[in-house]
Amino acid sequence: MSRPGTTPGPLSLNTATVREQWSLAQCIEGCARHGIRGISPWRDKLAEYGTANAARHIREARLTVTGLCRGGMFPAADAAGRRAAIEDNKRAIDDAAALNAQCLVLVVGGMPQGSKDLAGARQQVQDGIAAVLEHARAAKVPLAIEPLHPIYAADRACVNTLAQALDICDALGSKAGDGHLGVAVDVYHVWWDPDLARQIARAGSRVLAFHICDWLVPTSDLLLDRGMMGDGVIDIPAIRGMVEDAGYRGFCEVEIMSANNWWRRDPDEVLRTCIERHRSVV
Amino acid sequence: MSRPGTTPGPLSLNTATVREQWSLAQCIEGCARHGIRGISPWRDKLAEYGTANAARHIREARLTVTGLCRGGMFPAADAAGRRAAIEDNKRAIDDAAALNAQCLVLVVGGMPQGSKDLAGARQQVQDGIAAVLEHARAAKVPLAIEPLHPIYAADRACVNTLAQALDICDALGSKAGDGHLGVAVDVYHVWWDPDLARQIARAGSRVLAFHICDWLVPTSDLLLDRGMMGDGVIDIPAIRGMVEDAGYRGFCEVEIMSANNWWRRDPDEVLRTCIERHRSVV
């Protein structure tokens, strides 16, 4: 299943992959120890460590921060909630800037509790991104809208296809190449999309991040049963080919949320497996 | 959340809704007893009862058969498997004709075990439908491709959006209005689709069935935790409005697979609840 004649971009560790085992400091050390050159922290771990400490440690370890997870979560039941979300996103942008992150990943949020207004939530997302775009531009932090699998439309992210994410980019005036607003392509969320190849080509240089894991059959949990690359049904090299054809030359960021398997293993074994699979099946 | 000034089409009972409690004969009697005028049997229940017996019983009860569930499952690992699927679909078409069903619902199938070739499975689906279309036309049984939620792309149905289903209809030469090939719109599978309104309008008279239930938050099981209309987050009247604007004037078929709730209740209570919710939230 590998892509003949090409090697994938370098590996990055999204810290969600070992979140139950390691602190951010341990993740940084683990990456350094295993020769992994990129890292993508989550904000809870970052807050625990302190942004300045984390930035210094990551710099000393010479890691590239391929993204900060995550901004977004824009929709709210009232104006105060929406304002709070915007302020929180500005703080996330500042953190991403302090880490010199290649992007801030936006998991945009679902419908407010009790709402059935999906279109309204989607409009709130677009308005929320519009409200922080100038802050991001000034901080030189590209925003990467991550479309999430439609299974999460209600409660985590109401942006569910690349087409929809790119429509938002277009509506907010992002031109291919300006670099301030784009998308994160996570194979878990997009692999099923009949329109995938066309939309990745449309994204072009707006592909700001490429996330890898696998879709297991059967999947036992809607959120926390993601698979190691190669253990599922996703043709990862095919999707890698699409993002590379679109011009992407960045890292392959492994992000596996796996409550009953990888989160229970020795994290050094997890990293070794990521490295091995990155070589053999990505 | 109701649609002002309109009433939904009549209710039909998809027998999956009470599959753990009732035989097909009991479903037919239950519909008659509760004044439900439509029914949509599954083939396992039909085989149990016998097609001729079922057809006579349904006729005597003056029920409309809004669909037969299900044909499809076309992809297979080898040619013999694909031929077997085609033969099985022809038998399903014959059963649908014997029941005077308004359509045969196609749950098209996922990837053969061990395969990662989603595009190949999709091609097998299109080829499979093409191979049975003439049989269906001769039997006067419309085929309704049911796009399933992307969560089922791997193992149940690799047709996951209305756009994709309609592309197949177009490729097989179905024109709006000829009635032999169209789509089943199930709110559970399509509610999240950013392109929903446009694709339903595109479908026009090719909307052959309209299925209702609800998406629960949280959802505890990928397959068997569907909700009663009104208990979830789907704006059902909005989607009903779309299919009606497209010209649909048929039944609202309730199909709820619910291992831990509705399958454990008194089936008469289930039917009463369906009737009440059909009036109040559809």
Please state which of the ranges A3-17, A86-100, B23-37, B255-269 shows the lowest mean pLDDT. Answer: A3-17
Q: Is B266 on the interface with A (CB under 8 A)?
A: no
- Phi and psi, residue A262, nearest 5°: -70, -25
Give pLDDT tens digits for B171-211: 998 766 678 999 999 999 999 999 999 999 999 999 999 99
**Token pair 């009790």: residue:** A114
- Decide if pLDDT at A2 tops 60: no
Give pLDDT tens digits for A239-269: 999 999 999 999 999 999 999 999 999 999 9
Q: For domain A11-280, give the fold.
A: TIM Barrel (3.20.20)
Give the pLDDT of residue B173.
Answer: 83
The SS3 call for residue B256 is: coil
Among left, alpha and beta (phi > 0; psi -120 to 50; other), residue A257 is beta
DSSP A148: P
Chain B residues with CB-CB distance to A224 below 8 A: none
Chain A residues with CB-CB distance to B1 below 8 A: 116
Distance CA B255, CA B16 (A): 6
Question: Cβ B233–A161 below 8 Å, yes or no?
Answer: no
Which residue of A lies nearest to B225 if distances are taken between CA atoms? A222
Give the pLDDT of residue A1.
Answer: 46
Which helix (H) or strand (E) covers residue A20, if one does? none
User: Which runs of E-coded beta strand occur in chain A?
Assistant: 11-14, 38-40, 64-65, 68-72, 104-107, 143-145, 181-186, 207-212, 252-254
Q: Is B161 on the interface with A (CB under 8 A)?
A: yes
Give the pLDDT of residue B174.
Answer: 74
Give pLDDT tens digits for A148-188: 999 999 999 999 999 999 999 999 987 666 789 999 999 99
Which residues in chain B show pLDDT less than 70?
1-5, 175-177
ipTM of the complex: 0.95
Mean pLDDT of A67-90: 98
A contact test, residue of B1, B108, B118, B149 with most A CBs within 10 A: B118
Q: Shortest Cα distance from A179 to chain B (angstroms)?
A: 25
Question: Cβ A219–B222 below 8 Å, yes or no?
Answer: yes
Give pLDDT tens digits for A197-215: 999 999 999 999 999 999 9
- The answer to whether the pTM exceeds 0.90 is yes
Across chain A, mean pLDDT equals: 96
Ordered alpha helix ranges (H), B16-144: 24-34, 43-49, 51-60, 79-98, 118-138
**Domain range list for chain B:** 11-280
DSSP string, B143-183: EEE-PPPGGGTTTTBS--SHHHHHHHHHHTTPPTTS-SEEE
Q: Shortest Cα distance from A70 to chain B (angstroms)?
A: 22
Give the pLDDT of residue B5.
Answer: 64
Q: Is A251 on the interface with B (CB under 8 A)?
A: no
Give the pLDDT of residue A174.
Answer: 74
Give the pLDDT of residue A6.
Answer: 84
**Token pair 């809208």: residue:** A145
Q: Is B163 on the interface with A (CB under 8 A)?
A: yes
Q: Shortest Cα distance from A233 to chain B (angstroms)?
A: 5
Question: Cβ A154–B233 below 8 Å, yes or no?
Answer: yes
